A and B are shown apart, each in its own frame.
Chain A
Amino acid sequence: MKKIISLVLCIMLMATLLMACSSKDSSNEIPKDEPKQETAKEDSKQEEAKSGEQVTIDWFMETMDDESKANFEKYIINPLAEKLPHIKINYQPTADWNQVLKVQMAAGQGPDFFALDGPTVASEYAASGRILDLTPYVAKYGWDKIIFPWALDSCKIAGTIYSIPNSYEALVLWYNEDMFKENGWEMPKTFGQLEKIAKEGQSKGIIPFAFGTSNFKPANEWFISIALANYAGGDAVKKALLGEAKWTDEPIKGSIAILDKMWKDGWLNDRNAHSISLDDSYALFSQKKTSMKMEGTWLYSTFLEQKPDFKWNVGIFPSLKDGTPQTLPLAIGGVWAVNSDTKYPDECGEIINFMYTTPERYAKHVEEAGAQTLPMDIPANLFTDAMSPIQKSMIQMLSDAQKSGDVGYCMWTFWPPETRNFMIENIEKVFMDKMSIDKYLSGTQEVFDKEKAAGKVPIIP
């Protein structure tokens, strides 16, 4: 009897499974979701839209601490409510938001409006038809005349704009200004000058660069990007990304070789970077155990919070090769995208437009709360005299790099995902002599070729 019942239950189970499978169409594609059954929430949203009353937009984003949340409300939510009273924002800062969002979107659900890590991630959502084509809104609001062309272009996928940059950033050299003065060091501009600072510092027990990766492997891409930009130069990297040059070519190989030398000479946290976390590396810099920290412009707000008890400053990383200018690798800090199933695409467009057309609000957010800069020109008179000179020089640095065109490429914006991960994971093997530089680069080329053939390489401006 038990066997019969067990058999019946198993048959029921298999039947359910087959029914689930048979609901797929006969093509060899995992079909996109059927139109969803209207939930009570969606019903009410539609009612809102029809009646012309205030509509609620679900806005999904990375988790924030209390201070960031307060700033977000002060500089974005409250002004937005004033300017666009017909839109109510239900913002949802969420831990591990990337993964949560991905699962929600895969299920055909998800918020109306959300932040993504960058154009590369957005391209995966676009390829799956989960995010809206924003090209009509770009034309409607003239965003192409506001947003820096390279930033907007990097969001294009086959000529269509699926996401809009929400900040831009660069890899820069942070340094302990007091320590530099005490030792008679100047901000280095060449590899030779950097080498002098590193060696003199090491002889006094000062580690050149604070760097920790044990809990954040993507940190490796900061040094790879900076080495590529300041040794090979922006053009050589662009050619490799466009497929016009090989990753195994000399300029790229030289970049990895000099990075490897920097590691082996103990410049990157005394070869202990894999033993400590990213937070530990901030602690080492704050405790004056290191003279420099190479990281993104975003570190400004971290220093504002941590308040190191010495003067610190920022500059462009030195050139690593004669003939290659000092180059600032630029990146999109993140993008905004709109759910293709949203009931309110126009309202989402209004939100993005609000962000780009309220420069006074935005300038205050940058000046008072250290927010990341939007990729657009901001009239200097919008910033007050009270603005930190470090922040001013940082914004100027970004602006000058835009104008000069001597810019490099940050991996998290311009690399296809698998190539990026291959380089991040395997550079540690190169450092530890578990992989040769040649094998590292030929492996990079192999993965890149595969992704290029699959159309996964972002637009390279």
Chain B
Amino acid sequence: MNLIASKRGKFTRKRVFPLLLILPAFALHAAIITLPSLSTIYLSLYEWNGIGGGKFIGLDNFIEIFTKDDVIWAAFMNNIKWTAIFLTLPITLGLLVALVVSRLKKGQMVYRTIFFLPYVLSAAIAGRIWTSFYNPYFGFGAVFEKLGLTSLAGVKWLGDPDIALYSVAFVDNWHWWGFVMVLFIAALHQVNPSLYEAARVEGANWLQEFVHITIPGVRPTLVFIFMMTIIWSFLTFDYVWVMTMGGPGQATEIISTWMYKNAFINYRAGYANAICVLQSLICLVVFAATEYIRKKGWDV
């Protein structure tokens, strides 16, 4: 009897009503986000040109990805390089500059604004601006030549397959790190200042403060940025497309550009959907790994 009463108590209006309130939002999300996303799985099983009817081919698209498509693996490796770059440079730079800027008594907002400014530029505009900078005739090349730095003047920033990916990644970093810095500044403001005072009283140096107070203090933000960086690095598209279209010789091809080319240039939307499914799986694995780490003790 008591058990029944207890169970009935859980279904009170107070508990159910809020859930009913979020139902419309849930239904909307399901209709315009979840269902189209899930349809990707369905469409990946078809040979489909993206316009009309398609033909069911089972797992053939996935088999082709794993057995015949050399480009996708080169693209995957480029995404790995991209991820490695973005997990190190902008996070390190963002955190260090945030530490300096957050301690400024005057002009903090000016620095924050200047560093954040590139983030508000669209990829199309920033990409075109930097393509001009990389131009060997009018850009850095011309400047280096005038300065007598002939070896640097001859560098083909976007034309050399060995450095083109890094040249594009640099531009994306240039746009991105200011945003990371702002996130870290917000996180640093949450760290209790008395911890630093106590540490100084105990004779801790700046490195010990950084390792034992700052890093634990911003850990939730750090983990969030790590997770999002990995996911976004596998979804990135805009800067590569605007600046090199995956070239030269597919040296900057990444999974998203290869997916786009299959869908819109080769008219193989079914195959592009299969690539998309794998891309989503990678992101899902990253998310699951982060959740696992969190549950194992990294309170995020």
Supposing A274-B158, A275-B158, A418-B268 touch, asked if A16 and B30 sit within 8 A by C-beta, the answer is yes
- Interface size on A, as a range, is 35 or more
Contacts of B220 in A (CB 8 A): none
The reply to whether A429 and B138 contact each other, CB–CB distance below 8 Å, is no
The reply to whether B51 and A125 contact each other, CB–CB distance below 8 Å, is yes
Contacts of B232 in A (CB 8 A): none
Give the A-B pair count, Cβ closer than 8 A: 141
The reply to whether A128 and B51 contact each other, CB–CB distance below 8 Å, is yes
Supposing A421-B265, A432-B248 touch, asked if A280 and B135 sit within 8 A by C-beta, the answer is yes
Contacts of B52 in A (CB 8 A): 30, 32, 106, 125, 127-130
A428 near B: Cβ within 8 Å? yes
Q: Which of B26, B51, B56, B159 has a CB less than 8 Å from the CB of A272? A: B159
Supposing A421-B266, A425-B250, A432-B249 touch, asked if A215 and B131 sit within 8 A by C-beta, the answer is yes
The reply to whether B136 and A272 contact each other, CB–CB distance below 8 Å, is yes
The reply to whether A13 and B30 contact each other, CB–CB distance below 8 Å, is yes
Q: Which of A29, A274, A289, A434 has a CB less than 8 Å from the CB of B53? A: A29
The reply to whether B51 and A106 contact each other, CB–CB distance below 8 Å, is yes
Contacts of B137 in A (CB 8 A): 272, 276, 280, 284, 289
B157 near A: Cβ within 8 Å? yes
Interface string of B1-39 (1 = CB under 8 A from A): 000000000110001100100010010001100110011
Contacts of B158 in A (CB 8 A): 214, 274-275
Contacts of A216 in B (CB 8 A): 245
Contacts of B46 in A (CB 8 A): 30
Q: Which of B49, B249, B264, B268 has a CB less than 8 Å from the CB of A431? A: B249
Contacts of B34 in A (CB 8 A): 13
Q: Which of A12, A29, A432 has a CB less than 8 Å from the CB of B56? A: A29
Chain A at the B interface: mostly helix, strand, loop or mixed?
A: helix
Contacts of A417 in B (CB 8 A): 265-267
- How many chain-B residues does the 8 Å CB contact rule pick out? 54
Interface string of B216-260 (1 = CB under 8 A from A): 000000000000000000000000001111111110000000000
Q: Which of A16, A32, A99, A275 has a CB less than 8 Å from the CB of B157? A: A275
A28 near B: Cβ within 8 Å? yes
Find residues 259-303 in chain A having any chain B CB closer than 8 Å to their own CB: 271-277, 280, 283-284, 289
The reply to whether B134 and A275 contact each other, CB–CB distance below 8 Å, is yes
Bound-state Cα–Cα, A129 to B49, Å: 12
The reply to whether B48 and A30 contact each other, CB–CB distance below 8 Å, is yes
A21 near B: Cβ within 8 Å? yes
The reply to whether B51 and A273 contact each other, CB–CB distance below 8 Å, is no
The reply to whether B268 and A130 contact each other, CB–CB distance below 8 Å, is no
Bound-state Cα–Cα, A276 to B137, Å: 9
Bound-state Cα–Cα, A438 to B164, Å: 26
Contacts of B10 in A (CB 8 A): 1
Distance (whole angstroms) from the CB of B178 to the closest CB of chain A: 25
B112 near A: Cβ within 8 Å? no
A17 near B: Cβ within 8 Å? yes
Bound-state Cα–Cα, A98 to B56, Å: 26
Find residues 98-150 in chain A having any chain B CB closer than 8 Å to their own CB: 98-99, 102, 105-106, 124-125, 127-130
Contacts of B196 in A (CB 8 A): none
Distance (whole angstroms) from the CB of A436 to the closest CB of chain B: 13
The reply to whether B51 and A215 contact each other, CB–CB distance below 8 Å, is no
A5 near B: Cβ within 8 Å? yes
Contacts of B23 in A (CB 8 A): 9
Bound-state Cα–Cα, A99 to B51, Å: 11
The reply to whether B136 and A214 contact each other, CB–CB distance below 8 Å, is no
Supposing A5-B19, A421-B261, A425-B250 touch, asked if A277 and B131 sit within 8 A by C-beta, the answer is yes
A199 near B: Cβ within 8 Å? no
Q: Which of B138, B245, B268 has a CB less than 8 Å from the CB of A215? A: B245
Contacts of B248 in A (CB 8 A): 213, 274, 428, 431-432
Q: Can you list the 5 inter-chain pairs with the closest CB atoms, starting with the nearest?
A: A128-B52, A275-B159, A28-B56, A274-B248, A428-B249
B-contacting residues of A (Cβ < 8 Å)?
1-2, 5, 9, 12-13, 16-17, 20-21, 28-32, 98-99, 102, 105-106, 124-125, 127-130, 213-217, 271-277, 280, 283-284, 289, 417-418, 421, 425-426, 428-429, 431-432, 434-435
A-contacting residues of B (Cβ < 8 Å)?
10-11, 15-16, 19, 23, 26, 30-31, 34-35, 38-39, 42-43, 46, 48-56, 128, 131-132, 134-138, 156-159, 161, 164, 242-250, 261, 264-268
21 A–B pairs (Cβ distance < 8 Å), ordered by A: A1-B10, A1-B15, A28-B56, A29-B53, A30-B48, A102-B51, A106-B52, A125-B52, A128-B51, A128-B52, A214-B158, A214-B244, A215-B128, A272-B156, A274-B164, A275-B135, A276-B136, A277-B131, A280-B132, A289-B137, A432-B161
Q: A12-B30, A272-B159 are in contact. List 20 more A-B contacts (CB 8 A).
A: A1-B11, A13-B30, A16-B30, A29-B56, A30-B53, A32-B53, A98-B264, A124-B49, A125-B52, A128-B49, A213-B247, A214-B244, A214-B247, A274-B158, A274-B244, A274-B248, A280-B135, A428-B247, A428-B248, A432-B161
